Structure 1
């Protein structure tokens, strides 16, 4: 599942914490501030600590995250949908926040996932530098490869701060992306049913 994991570097390739903190000081000087002033003295440490949390998805093993599947489903083979999963990500072009929610569904084929696992998959891929299109596909592919269901549907809606805070500065605009596999991809009625359930109708 290397293509899904999408890690950019090994631990051996990573700069040290001290090097990362010095990079923050360089940026502070570049924007015109003084990293030696009282209010900024601890900023490099805080930023590096925050980045460890914000980009924790690089350290996650998606196979471990999805973990155990369950076969005792009493013959259930209809849509399983977890909707309105909030996430926070960062765009890979400007490293600015992407704030949104994901709706993830699958059609089981004898096995199901724990519901929290679906939310966790969204979290893992969200906590990386991303494009929304790639994140949508990564979530679907991870579930597809682990569970081998009859189909997967993923719908993401998000606001990109790179559009709201800079450039065209259009706050409130939302980007929508979808990915379908299996029966969802091949059957327009299943796609429509998925979207109807997402919208709560």
Structure 2
């Protein structure tokens, strides 16, 4: 399993403990044991760098041509996720939606959730998260089009700086047919429950 910067659980626990002591927290033996477990769980939040072999299985589609196939889209969501902001090492969390128009291959619907969570379990930013989902999906299936809509709350903005607690950040990514076809984009966004 990948750990951020190759850190082991004990080593990560040591640094987390040192950080807490430096902040004025009085450490106890009981806390140190708990601290190792907590730091291990924290580092597991970056396991998305390892990939997911279950995403490799694709199936042939039944619809191979004609105008109906090109404009029939699958929309999956909401897919809840938690990610770590690479700028502040604080979580951001929200919902992702994926839409696609199949070409020669499809993927099991549960794999869309796996794909979102794979890229969310990394240090990232919301814009990149959406692009990685769209680009990876495009590389796997070569569909006629892919759309990704992500909405998230950022603790880095809620806990520090401006301390804005009510805002919701929304991003979209369009590939293929979605780039040229505004009615497909609207249909997708309505399927996501977005205000259009």
- What TM-score comes out, normalization by structure 1 length? 0.86
Shift of residue 162, structure 1, vs aligned partner: 0.7
Is there any run of 5+ residues in structure 2 with no aligned partner, and where? none
Deviation per residue, 1:2-53 (Å, 9 max, x gap): xxxxxxxx77x61333321211111111211122x25522233122221243
Q: How many residues align?
A: 188
* Residue 60 (structure 2) aligns with: 71
From 127, 149, 152, the equivalent of 1:155 is 149
Separation in 2 of the partners of 1:186 and 1:39?
A: 59
- What TM-score comes out, normalization by structure 2 length? 0.88
State how 1:24-103 maps to structure 2 within 5 Å: 24-35=16-27, 37=28, 40-61=31-52, 64-75=53-64, 77=69, 78-103=72-97
Separation in 2 of the partners of 1:72 and 1:138?
A: 23
* Matched-pair contact (CA < 8 Å) for 2:79–2:96: yes
State how 1:118-157 maps to structure 2 within 5 Å: 118-157=112-151
Separation in 1 of the partners of 2:80 and 2:10?
A: 33
Separation in 2 of the partners of 1:198 and 1:109?
A: 22
Separation in 2 of the partners of 1:185 and 1:200?
A: 18
* Matched-pair contact (CA < 8 Å) for 2:105–2:141: yes
Separation in 1 of the partners of 2:124 and 2:194?
A: 28
From 179, 183, 186, the equivalent of 1:192 is 186
Deviation per residue, 1:106-140 (Å, 9 max, x gap): 10012211000011000111111110000000000
- Where has structure 1 moved over 3 Å in runs of 4 or more? none
* Matched-pair contact (CA < 8 Å) for 2:12–2:40: no
Shift of residue 74, structure 1, vs aligned partner: 4.6
3-state SS of the aligned residue for 1:40?
Answer: helix
3-state SS of the aligned residue for 2:160?
Answer: coil
3-state SS of the aligned residue for 2:112?
Answer: helix
Shift of residue 95, structure 1, vs aligned partner: 1.1
C-alpha change, 1:28 and 1:136, in structure 2 (3 Å) is: same
From 153, 172, 178, the equivalent of 1:178 is 172
From 96, 99, 105, the equivalent of 1:105 is 99
Separation in 1 of the partners of 2:106 and 2:19?
A: 47
